[in-house]
Amino acid sequence: MSRPVVYKFRLYVADDALNSGQARTNLAALCKTHLAGRSEVEVVDVFKQPNRALSDAIYLTPTLVRTWPLPVRCIVGTLSQTAMVLRVLDLEGDFAAGPPRGEMP
């Protein structure tokens, strides 16, 4: 039996800006609902690590990058439109949604 894919994300935020906080909250909810136990999130504060953001070509916050599995995918915003986020990050398939409602895993 193969091991489930662990999705790796990098979220670029601007300190405690409102939209950055919303993105953190929305990403946590998305991971809990759709990728329970199968995600890792690294948060990069562009105020504390500006050179990293620039070297990674990040010019807007919040920006979420799915770094694994390849190919890399990226979305900018508060991540409040879950269906769009799932589509852009290529997480729409049944493999990401977890068990159907009412069924135990």
* Tens-place pLDDT, residues 49-104: 999 999 999 999 999 999 999 999 999 999 999 999 999 998 876 444 444 444 33
- 79 in a structural domain: yes
Q: Where are the alpha helices (DSSP H) in 1-105?
A: 18-34, 50-55, 82-88, 94-97
- 81 in a structural domain: yes
* Tens-place pLDDT, residues 13-58: 999 999 999 999 999 999 999 999 999 999 999 999 999 999 999 9
The CB density around residue 32, as the number of other CB atoms within 10 Å, is 12
Distance CA 11, CA 16 (A): 13
Task: Provide the CATH number for the domain around residue 24.
Answer: 3.40.30.10
- 104 in a structural domain: no
What is the domain range of residue 46? 7-96
Q: Look at the chain and report how many structural domains it folds into.
A: 1
- 101 in a structural domain: no
- 19 in a structural domain: yes
Which residue in 41, 6, 7, 38 sits closest to 24, CA to CA? 41
